Amino acid sequence: MTTTGKQIFTTLASDGTLTVEVGEVEFSDPVGSQVLVRMEAAPINPSDLALLFGPADLATASYTPGIVVAKMPEPFAKAAVGRHGQRLPVGNEGAGTVIAAGEAPAAQALVGQRVSCVPGNAFSQYAIADAMMCLPLGDISARDGASAFVNPMTSLGFVENAKMEGQKAIVHSAAASNLGQMLLRICEEDGIALVNIVRKAEQADLLRDLGAKHVVNSSDPDFMAQLRAAIAETDAFFGFDPIGGGRMVDSIFTAMEQVAGSRMTDYSRYGSNQPKKMYIYGRLDRGETILSPAYGFGWTLSGWLLTSFLQQAGMETMVRMRQRVLDGLTTTFASHYKREVNFEQMLEKDAVLDYAAMKTGEKYLVTPWA
Amino acid sequence: MTTTGKQIFTTLASDGTLTVEVGEVEFSDPVGSQVLVRMEAAPINPSDLALLFGPADLATASYTPGIVVAKMPEPFAKAAVGRHGQRLPVGNEGAGTVIAAGEAPAAQALVGQRVSCVPGNAFSQYAIADAMMCLPLGDISARDGASAFVNPMTSLGFVENAKMEGQKAIVHSAAASNLGQMLLRICEEDGIALVNIVRKAEQADLLRDLGAKHVVNSSDPDFMAQLRAAIAETDAFFGFDPIGGGRMVDSIFTAMEQVAGSRMTDYSRYGSNQPKKMYIYGRLDRGETILSPAYGFGWTLSGWLLTSFLQQAGMETMVRMRQRVLDGLTTTFASHYKREVNFEQMLEKDAVLDYAAMKTGEKYLVTPWA
């Protein structure tokens, strides 16, 4: 027996033409520990956008009902040679109701329950998920449970990672985001100092209203002085940046080095020996990352990926993290959405340009049955 | 009793004015394990230039006999606040003859001997050095022994570091340098594959004549294809870059990811899970480092500093490395110089502009008594 439903697909042709469309799919019956989930809500996260549209030119794309055709610029089209011609499903996470299950008891136990899951094709009316990775939501709505994985586990992962590296303070940019607000709450719970960098006064106010102690506005003329003061106060020489492109990481390293330098009694030609470490975990700005030579050689910049971190952290840590997320899904780990769209609305020009801009606090939720 | 001699000093005023001059200094008698070395030869290494002139504007500087006055641009002048007003000696390493020693037997044993040393003020007629860090040169000339520390220990450090991280291959840029040639010989001795990146056909020929198997010319139109082929053949996802500024590291990461991507059977939105690591160990190009978003999140870029590496590696490794350098000082670890200059010649405009350009194979040697 099979179940048929609609699903979003993205296809990159070898000539750089990107097609995103609503298609029909047949889902086989779940086997073993699999469950079949009728998906009710899925967030459009930046990581989904990277696959859905990547750096394709959305302003000049052609929009017809249920289908978007855009051009992917070089060298991105070439770098993505691995996906050329493949019709790929999209959507890391979402929530829905289990309507069928494989024979494994863990799967059978979920039948009829609402769960959050990480199927990889969450922009779909149905999805096959592994029971082990499903989180039973109980009374929590699909809307509230749709984002139970990416942002909660990422923000919690930052704090776990900081602790693993012996850090007691974190610098975070684009800090007013859903993820940034979660991080603020986790850091408060765990006694980790947090330097929040935002780019608008409203965002600074928002975070201060939520209890943030160190908020720095990159649009202020004295941004660097604010940042130095916050780093000096917190000893934050470690941080996470979701912007990626531009000069944010450079500004942070520069401020860290200035703080460390001001504490040195002897001058060293190589800069301070204060290690400085930043992770880039997103690409809100898909432009180039610019690093100036203003902070010696005592720095490390690395990409950060949730799945790689979880592998490194191990199963025990991951189970502990998931439990903490479940316990705080409507409090510490709550998400907010600007708009709900069905598949057709999701592929309309105004919607695409709006959510692809990845503005702080303007996340979309996909509701495939609306 | 004191010994008086000439020495090079560099001073950065708080207004950004940089003064480099020949001064007179008195040296006290050595005590304990110290020795007093009559310095005969010292190389001008890129790391010395970083302190000597930094990013000061040398084209518009004022040159009078024995003194150079230049302007240091912001933000470098500000970042170097720790050296404002300090009259700093320069010169990491050099060679000379021990003319006096402290009472320690290790120091006394060196009296009358030619040694290489790491005094930090090697651009001086005399220097106080620690006997433990002196390498007795025997029949080797001061010229041949002048560069026994920085380049040999750095190139050897790369191979030690690669082994520590489980790597069997290294990518190296500006590979025709003195250091690059040493690295080539060490890698050959130790069975480590080496991808040499140069920017001129003559440099490629030079390295091939020295036995290099993988040489890639960044000036060739098919540079990226050459680089991909060399990485694919050697499995080099790890490397060292002395250029720092510009797009070299970006090109290397991009080529590494393209090789890794071409080996994947399934497309991943996050790029390959092949870890890619590059170290920047110099700033031949003091411009900004540009990183594009073409290689996912599985990469790490870090500054590399010899002293930090040696600390991390520990005393036993360092002693083993020093012995290997001494054994190969006229073979594996031999250095070559374009020109010898005394202190006055060292501060003449044509000389300054020439050695500050840090061109491959054009290193200067300072001979303070000539």
A258, A287, A303 member nearest B296 (Cβ): A303
Average pLDDT over chain B, rounded to whole? 94
Lowest mean pLDDT among A92-101, A294-303, B267-276: B267-276
Higher pLDDT, A307 or B20: B20
Peptide bond into A293 cis (omega under 30): no
Q: How far is A210 from chain B (nearest CA, A)?
A: 31
- Best CA proximity match to A200, nearest among A236, A173, A182, A232: A173
Q: How far is A248 from chain B (nearest CA, A)?
A: 13
Is residue B129 classed as helix, strand or coil in its secondary structure? strand
Q: Cα B300 to chain center, whole Å? A: 22
B26 strand-pairing partners: B4
Which residue, among B84, B256, B269, would best test binding to A if mutated, counting the most A CBs under 10 Å from its CB? B269
- Best CA proximity match to B269, nearest among A124, A298, A47, A346: A47
Q: How far is A218 from chain B (nearest CA, A)?
A: 18
- The one-letter code for the residue type at B294 is A
Where b means 16+ CB within 10 Å and e means fewer, B186-202 reads: bbbeeebbbbbbbbeee
Average pLDDT over chain A, rounded to whole? 94
Inter-chain contact B283–A261, Cβ cutoff 8 Å?
no
Neighbour-count burial of A177, counting CB atoms closer than 10 A to its CB (0-12 exposed, 13-18 middle, 19+ buried): buried
Cβ neighbors of B24 (< 8 A, separation 6 or more) are B4, B5, B6, B7
Q: How many CA atoms lie less than 13 Å away from A285 in the CB half-sphere?
A: 17
Tokens of residue A370, six digits: 């609306």
Per-residue HEC secondary structure of chain A comes to CEEEEEEEEEEECCCCEEEEEEEEEEEECCCCCEEEEEEEEEECCHHHHHHHCCCCEEEEEEEECCEEEEECCCCHHHHCHHHECCEEECCCCEEEEEEEECCCHHHHCCCCCEEEECCCCCCECEEEEEHHHCEECCCCCHHHHCCCCHHHHHHHHHHHHHHHCCCCEEEEECCCCHHHHHHHHHHHHHCCEEEEEECCHHHHHHHHHCCCCEEEECCCCCHHHHHHHHHHHHCCCEEEECCEEECHHHHHHHHHHHHHHHCCCCCCCCCCCCCEEEEECCCCEEEEEEECCCCCCCEEEEECCHHHHHHHHCHHHHHHHHHHHHHCCCCCCCCCCCEEECHHHHCCHHHHHHHHCCCCCCCEEECCCC
DSSP type of residue B78: H
Which residue, among A267, A280, A284, A306, would best test binding to B if mutated, counting the most B CBs under 10 Å from its CB? A267
Which residue, among B224, B297, B305, would best test binding to A if mutated, counting the most A CBs under 10 Å from its CB? B297
CB A317 within 8 A of CB A324: no
Q: Is the pLDDT of residue B286 over 90?
A: no
Neighbour-count burial of B1, counting CB atoms closer than 10 A to its CB (0-12 exposed, 13-18 middle, 19+ buried): exposed
CB A330 within 8 A of CB A292: no
A261, A268, A304 member nearest B297 (Cβ): A304
- Region A50-69: mean pLDDT is 95
Neighbour-count burial of A266, counting CB atoms closer than 10 A to its CB (0-12 exposed, 13-18 middle, 19+ buried): exposed
Instruction: Note the pLDDT tens digit of each residue in A215-233.
Output: 999 999 999 999 999 999 9
Q: Is the pLDDT of residue A189 over 90?
A: yes
CB B227 within 8 A of CB B195: yes
- Region B174-178: mean pLDDT is 93
Q: Cα A351 to chain center, whole Å? A: 19
Task: Extract long-range pairs of A186-189: CB within 8 Å, 24+ residues apart.
Answer: A186/A155, A186/A156, A186/A159, A186/A332, A187/A159, A189/A332
CB pairs under 8 A between A and B: 136
Looking at residue A132, its pLDDT comes to 84
Cβ neighbors of A4 (< 8 A, separation 6 or more) are A24, A25, A26, A27
- Region B328-333: mean pLDDT is 93
Q: Where in chain B is the domain with CATH 3.90.180.10?
A: 2-147+335-366
DSSP type of residue B149: S
Q: How far is A139 from chain B (nearest CA, A)?
A: 33
Q: Where in chain B is the domain with CATH 3.40.50.720?
A: 151-310
B51, B262, B299 member nearest A269 (Cβ): B51
DSSP type of residue B132: G
Looking at residue A307, its pLDDT comes to 86
Q: What is the DSSP string of B277-305?
A: EEEE---SEEEEEEE-S-STT-EEEEE--
- Round to whole Å and give the CA distance between A343 and A367: 8
- Round to whole Å and give the CA distance between B53 and B224: 34
CB A257 within 8 A of CB A295: yes
CB A52 within 8 A of CB A124: no
Inter-chain contact B55–A293, Cβ cutoff 8 Å?
yes
Inter-chain contact B289–A291, Cβ cutoff 8 Å?
yes
Confidence bin at A286 (pLDDT 50/70/90): confident
Confidence bin at B269 (pLDDT 50/70/90): low
- Round to whole Å and give the CA distance between B27 and A298: 33
- Class of the CATH domain delimited by A151-310: alpha beta
Q: How many CA atoms lie less than 13 Å away from B222 in the CB half-sphere?
A: 6
Q: Residue B245 is inside which H or E element, if any?
A: strand B244-246
B261, B270, B280 member nearest A305 (Cβ): B270
Instruction: Note the pLDDT tens digit of each residue in B69-125.
Output: 999 988 778 777 778 899 999 999 999 999 999 999 999 999 999 999 999 999 999
Task: Specify the length of chain B in residues.
Answer: 370
DSSP type of residue B72: P
**pTM of the model as a whole:** 0.86
Q: Hey, which of A71-85, B255-269, B273-287 has the most confident mean pLDDT? A: B273-287
- Round to whole Å and give the CA distance between A250 and A239: 12
Which ranges of chain B does DSSP label H, i.e. alpha helix?
Answer: 46-52, 76-79, 105-108, 142-145, 150-164, 178-190, 201-209, 223-234, 248-262, 306-313, 315-327, 343-346, 349-356
Specify whether the backbone of A181 is left (phi greater than 0), alpha (psi in -120 to 50) or beta: alpha
Residues of A in contact with B273 (CB under 8 A): 308
Looking at residue A269, its pLDDT comes to 67
B86, B244, B273 member nearest A267 (Cβ): B86
- Round to whole Å and give the CA distance between A32 and A37: 15
Neighbour-count burial of B59, counting CB atoms closer than 10 A to its CB (0-12 exposed, 13-18 middle, 19+ buried): exposed
Share above pLDDT 70 across residues of chain B, in percent, rounded to a whole number = 99
- Round to whole Å and give the CA distance between B164 and B171: 16
- Region A173-180: mean pLDDT is 94
Nearest CA in chain A to B86: A267
Looking at residue A239, its pLDDT comes to 98
Neighbour-count burial of A328, counting CB atoms closer than 10 A to its CB (0-12 exposed, 13-18 middle, 19+ buried): middle
Q: Is the pLDDT of residue A130 over 80?
A: yes
A193 strand-pairing partners: A169
- The one-letter code for the residue type at A212 is A
A126 strand-pairing partners: A38
Tokens of residue A166, six digits: 């012996």
Cβ neighbors of A182 (< 8 A, separation 6 or more) are A151, A152, A155, A156, A332, A333
| Residue A329 CA: distances (Å) to CA of A189, A335, A360, B179 | 15, 8, 20, 56
A285 strand-pairing partners: A244
CB A97 within 8 A of CB A112: yes
Q: Does the B2-147+335-366 domain belong in CATH 3.90.180.10?
A: yes
Tokens of residue A78, six digits: 């070439």
- Region B322-348: mean pLDDT is 94
